[in-house]
Structure 1
Amino acid sequence: MMTNRASISLLVCTLFVGAVVLSGCSEAKGRPDASKDLTRCHQYLGEQNVGAVVDAMGEEDPKVSARLGLSDLAGRLASEAEAWTENDLLHDSYRACRISVLGKDGGAQVTEATVKWSVLTMKSMSEPKYARSWRKVNDQVFVEKETGRPSMRLLVGCRVSGALSGQEVGLPLEMEVADPGLNLSLRQKVLTVFARTVTDELACADTPKIPSVLSG
């Protein structure tokens, strides 16, 4: 009888330990791959820019998140453009890269690059309502004027192969870099590299000319 009890106890303990080990492995597999996320952020924003952003944020141990690879992100954007109709105003926003650090006061500082197809149109940029808040950089690119927020938005015309005629004008890309207060030069560098990377991957039919200097 004692032998049976001992055997049962040993079996229970073995199963318990096994469950803990398996649980640990499962958590490890589910944990984000930090090095992969960092590599993706480098691809989206440029390695030097990412380093400069981290330095500017002035804290240690940054957490980097970039769940979508560049080809995956571009594929989703292309699918949306191909399915676009003139009355379609629902577009997903994709977070390409997020860099966060914990400040000394316990609050988080975040730099984030996002992209989506805009509800704005290239034609609407000539309307007084939008002309006051957006500046024309060239025929394909508009930049949002200073808003007082630590961020910068860019509107870029990009014609996707297979999309309906008028998609480039009626459905431009909208890209944004929001941050805790980077200097204007660095913010522009991050945004322009991001915009070029995404439009190159999308293989826009009329390659947008995105200059390094956006303000002016």
Structure 2
Amino acid sequence: MAGPDFDAELKQLQATMRTIEQVLDLDAMRREIADLGEQVAAPDLWDDQANAQRITSRLSVLNAEIDRFTDLNSRVEDLAVLVELGQEENDADSLAEAETELGRVKKAVEALEVRTLLSGEYDAREAIITIRSGAGGVDAADFAEMLMRMYLRWAEQHKYATEVFDTSYAEEAGLKSATFAVHSPYAYGTLSVEAGTHRLVRISPFDN
């Protein structure tokens, strides 16, 4: 079985990272960090606690974004070095390690690319989700429970913490309603596309 085309994969990763860097505008972030740092150093910062919390929270978010990009960019560079050494030495172990790391780095870059696209006012926040079965009887209640399990399993697979606030079960089966939180940065931006009415359509295997 042929291995990956490392040169093509690395070029694509490097191009994606350059695009992410342009979208994030790291220079503007650093200027904002410097400005916020001066405000944090002010002796009267905590005279207005609400404003102080806003400033320190924003500073924390910006630092985390830069660290996330810098760390991932370093991983891409380290991967390129590992591939180069493996190819020069024709070292099967190094190339196998590079193939494994390539898969991990690709997933991380794809995740960062998605986060970069989430630039709405509330996109970086955690999410609170409410599911209601509405009209439709037992089928609707069953479907509501299926949706809740689906979202909770999705969060678990991504290692996002969840917290169920309320569940109201239907008399026969399923859920009337449920409210739960997904505790993760960008959970709101990621899940906001799920807002609206969901329908369950049963398709017979005998339909053409």
TM-score surpassing 0.5? no
Give the structure-1-normalised TM-score. 0.19
More helix by share: 2
Give the structure-2-normalised TM-score. 0.19
